[in-house]
């Protein structure tokens, strides 16, 4: 008899668990992958609706749908889907500026027993033919340019670097391009000298690192004139990261090189008032075997620096410079950097940090 009741109890519990499982929601998609095939970029967005059925016994709720990239915009049935009813997850793919094959995923999260389903969309986008505006997106008057920022990236002080910039005369007349306020270390040349209507050309730039009396990130603005006139305050921004080239130093030269060492590389002023200017002395020493030269000290916004007592230090000599932090209306915790550029080949750009908590 006891055995009978034990079997009955186990059977009752099992049936209860089975009933509980049967009363949960289950999401069943008609298909979990869709191939859009090949289509043109200028066709615009494409979309596919993934249809599902709630094959469970309880209402189904989709909690979230996440796409693997911002180019896919999903939408879905937001109200509860009753047992036996259908719902959808709609996937929209935007091919703009995304030529080539794609394979993206859409993760569907719900209260179903199979609570996480990954859907896939794939296809291939045929690139649209580029327009003049695509190739030359910037304009100064009727001169179109691929960019108005002439970036030479890294330029060594013992080298000359060249680069080109594409241009197009979109006017109906000939156009001659000239420049003003060109620094001595920069040469700009237009080829051809005179652009006919609709003609393409180049601005050829030559950056002479040996003639730059500056270090680190250097920026200039050069006025651009068309037929002798400045149009819409037209200008090119010229930038370069000017660095000393240590790549050819021998092992002995590196061994006997200068070496900068700071007493500390960061300083926290703690809590300060918004109207209070605070100061700190950064102390450093040449622990190398030849003269250390401080090329430049460059502070980020909110602080100023004073030239060090010595800019050339013999081996073993020390120096310092003052940093003045100005809150300038800021509030809360602020962190600012100071870059020290030197002729230390192992540490040519030292980054120091200062911080403060600005209170009312």
pLDDT digits (tens, 9 = 90+) for 163-222: 999 999 999 999 999 999 999 999 999 999 999 999 999 999 999 999 998 999 999 999
pLDDT at position 326 = 85
Tens of pLDDT, residue by residue over 132-159, are 888 999 999 999 999 999 999 999 999 9
Residue 264: phi and psi, rounded to 5, are -155, 145
pLDDT of residue 344 exceeding 50, the answer is: yes
Instruction: Estimate to the nearest angstrom the gap between the alpha carbon of 31 and the chain centroid.
Output: 37
- Distance (Å, whole) CA 88 – CA 31: 11
User: Residue 298's beta-bridge partner residues?
Assistant: 339
pLDDT at position 330 = 81
Tokens of 130: 């580029």
CA distances from 241 to 155, 185, 216, 238 (A): 6, 14, 5, 11
> First and final CA of the chain: distance in angstroms?
82
pLDDT of residue 1 exceeding 70, the answer is: no
Class of domain 27-126: mainly beta
Lowest mean pLDDT among 47-61, 235-249, 293-307: 293-307
pLDDT at position 256 = 96
Lowest mean pLDDT among 35-39, 263-267, 275-279: 275-279
CB atoms within 10 A of CB 354: 23
Lowest mean pLDDT among 4-8, 28-32, 102-106, 135-139: 4-8
**Residues of the chain by 3-state class (helix, strand, coil), percent to 5:** 10, 55, 35
Q: Where in 11-142 does DSSP place strands (E)? A: 27-29, 33-40, 46-54, 62-67, 75-76, 86-93, 100-110, 116-126, 138-140
CB neighbour list of residue 185: distance below 8 Å, 6 or more residues apart: 207, 208, 209, 210, 211, 212
pLDDT at position 285 = 96
- Distance (Å, whole) CA 93 – CA 123: 10
pLDDT at position 68 = 87
Mean pLDDT score across all residues of the chain: 90
pLDDT of residue 7 exceeding 80, the answer is: no
Greater confidence, 273 or 70?
273
pLDDT of residue 19 exceeding 90, the answer is: no
pLDDT at position 302 = 61
Tokens of 96: 């703009």
Of 92, 91, 98, 90, which Cα lies nearest the Cα of 40?
98
Residue position matching structure tokens 């092992």 = 251
Q: Which CATH superfamily is domain 132-243 in?
A: Immunoglobulins (2.60.40.10)
Percent of the chain whose pLDDT exceeds 90:
78
- Distance (Å, whole) CA 279 – CA 326: 9
pLDDT of residue 110 exceeding 50, the answer is: yes
- Distance (Å, whole) CA 215 – CA 208: 13
Assigned fold of 251-359: Immunoglobulin-like (2.60.40)
- Distance (Å, whole) CA 294 – CA 350: 11
- Distance (Å, whole) CA 119 – CA 27: 13
Mean pLDDT computed over 240-244: 95
pLDDT at position 64 = 93
Greater confidence, 214 or 7?
214
CA distances from 260 to 243, 247, 257, 283, 285 (A): 17, 19, 10, 10, 6
pLDDT at position 22 = 54
Tens of pLDDT, residue by residue over 43-60, are 999 999 999 999 999 999
Mean pLDDT computed over 290-310: 85
pLDDT band at 73 (very low <50, low <70, confident <90, very high): confident
Of 269, 270, 274, which Cα lies nearest the Cα of 360?
274
pLDDT of residue 9 exceeding 50, the answer is: no
- Distance (Å, whole) CA 170 – CA 167: 9
pLDDT at position 299 = 86
CB neighbour list of residue 48: distance below 8 Å, 6 or more residues apart: 34, 36, 90, 91, 121
- Distance (Å, whole) CA 70 – CA 267: 41
pLDDT of residue 8 exceeding 60, the answer is: no
- Distance (Å, whole) CA 330 – CA 274: 7
Domain with CATH 2.60.40.10 in the chain: 27-126, 132-243, 251-359
Degrees (nearest 5) of the Cα angle 156, 206, 132? 120
pLDDT at position 300 = 77
Tens of pLDDT, residue by residue over 245-254, are 999 999 999 9
DSSP 8-state secondary structure symbol assigned to residue 80: P
Residue 18: phi and psi, rounded to 5, are -65, -40
Tokens of 286: 């040449």
pLDDT at position 29 = 96
Greater confidence, 152 or 275?
152
pLDDT of residue 71 exceeding 90, the answer is: no
Mean pLDDT computed over 211-239: 93
pLDDT band at 360 (very low <50, low <70, confident <90, very high): confident
pLDDT band at 3 (very low <50, low <70, confident <90, very high): low
């Amino acid at each position: 008899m006891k055995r009978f009741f034990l079997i009955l109890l186990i059977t009752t519990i099992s049936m209860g668990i089975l009933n509980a499982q049967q009363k949960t929601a289950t999401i069943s998609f008609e298909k979990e992958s869709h191939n859009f095939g090949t289509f043109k970029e200028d066709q615009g967005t494409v979309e596919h609706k993934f249809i599902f059925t709630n094959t469970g016994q309880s209402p189904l709720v989709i909690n979230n749908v996440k796409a693997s990239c911002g180019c896919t915009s999903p939408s879905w049935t937001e109200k509860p889907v009753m047992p036996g009813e259908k719902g959808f997850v709609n996937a929209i793919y935007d091919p703009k500026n995304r030529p080539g094959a794609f394979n993206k995923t859409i993760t569907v999260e719900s209260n179903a027993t199979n609570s996480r389903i990954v859907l896939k969309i794939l296809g291939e986008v045929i690139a649209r033919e580029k327009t003049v505006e695509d190739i030359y997106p910037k304009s100064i008057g009727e001169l179109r340019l691929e960019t108005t920022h002439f970036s030479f990236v890294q330029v060594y002080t013992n080298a000359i670097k060249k680069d080109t910039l594409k241009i197009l005369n979109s006017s109906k007349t000939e156009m001659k391009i000239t420049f003003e306020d060109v620094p001595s270390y920069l040469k700009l040349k237009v080829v051809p000298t005179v652009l006919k209507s609709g003609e393409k050309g180049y601005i050829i730039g030559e950056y002479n690192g040996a003639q730059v009396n500056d270090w680190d990130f250097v920026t200039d603005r050069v006025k651009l004139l068309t037929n002798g006139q400045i149009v819409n305050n037209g200008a090119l921004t010229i930038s370069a990261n000017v660095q000393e080239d240590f790549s050819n130093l021998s092992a002995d030269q590196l061994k006997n090189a200068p070496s900068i060492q700071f007493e500390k590389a960061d300083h926290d002023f703690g809590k300060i008032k918004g109207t209070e200017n605070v100061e700190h002395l950064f102390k450093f020493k040449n622990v190398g075997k030849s003269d250390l030269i401080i090329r430049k000290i460059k502070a980020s916004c909110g602080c100023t620096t004073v030239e060090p007592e010595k800019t050339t230090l013999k081996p073993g000599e020390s120096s310092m410079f003052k940093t003045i932090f100005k809150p300038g209306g800021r509030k809360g915790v602020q962190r600012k950097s100071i870059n020290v550029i030197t002729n230390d080949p192992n540490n040519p750009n030292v980054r120091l940090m200062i911080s403060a908590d600005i209170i009312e």
